[in-house]
Amino acid sequence: MIPIGDENRGARGVPVVVTTLVVLNVLVYLYEASLPLPELQRFITHYGAIPLEISHGRDLYTIFTSMFVHGGLAHVAGNMLFLWIFGDNIERRFGSALFLLFYLGCGLVATWFHVQTNPNSLMPTVGASGAISGVMGAYILLYPFNRVELLIGWWFVLPVPAFVFLGIWFLTQLSNGMLALSVPTAQSSGVAFWAHIGGFAAGVLGTMIIAPLRPEPPTTPPPAPLDDGVGWL
């Protein structure tokens, strides 16, 4: 099941931050794709977040840079699809500047969760999914009944409430994360489940703080005032 769209997609202007993030991530990936394999490995090692290094206070810049590096075409395409679908509504609700801070903050918390659950790992962690998980946490809180369109197979589209899709997604991450803690071999699956869990939790908690301060903006302009003069039919 792949999400391909959602509600609240009216003509409300371009989501500037979401668009910029998508472009930046794609450009970084295109640069990665241009590198020979040895240079690509060095690039990922240099800019990816290595838990052992971070847990010892080294290479802390990678907590930020790892959010813009991806491990393959499917990785970047999937992440950008989720960001594009769920991010525009949250940027519109929070405002562009606050949304950017929210996004980066969720990404930082996601990496922290991953480091805490894998403190001795030497595997570089890359990808925007931790930050995007925070956006999804905000979405399930603010727009739980928005319809998300899921592509089933190659042609069937099934609309479901956002809380159903995102709830199942989170429970899947949580179950896999618990498995990764209890089964050592699961830690090497290559998926940072606890980054997803931490990012999602940060998104929910952050939204509980931000949302009351940022009421939903109007979707349509207010009606024009009535003319007090005499009208003729």
CB 164 within 8 A of CB 140: no
> Which three-class secondary structure string do you get for 62-110?
HHHHHHHCCCCHHHHHHHHHHHHHHHHHHHHHHCHHHHHHHHHHHHHHH
pLDDT for residue 186: 47
pLDDT attached to residue 64: 95
Q: Is pLDDT above 50 for 159?
A: yes
* The pLDDT of residue 230: 40
Is residue 124 over pLDDT 70? yes
Distances (CA, A) of 228 to 221, 222, 224, 225, 231: 21, 18, 12, 9, 9
Query: Across the chain, which distance is largest between two alpha carbons, in Å?
Result: 81
- What is the mean pLDDT of the segment spanning 73-96? 94
Q: Which domains does the chain have, with CATH numbers?
A: 2-213 (1.20.1540.10)
Rg of the chain, C-alpha, whole Å: 20
| pLDDT of 229 | 43
Residue with tokens 């005499």: 230
Q: How confident is the model at residue 231 (pLDDT cuts 50, 70, 90)?
A: very low
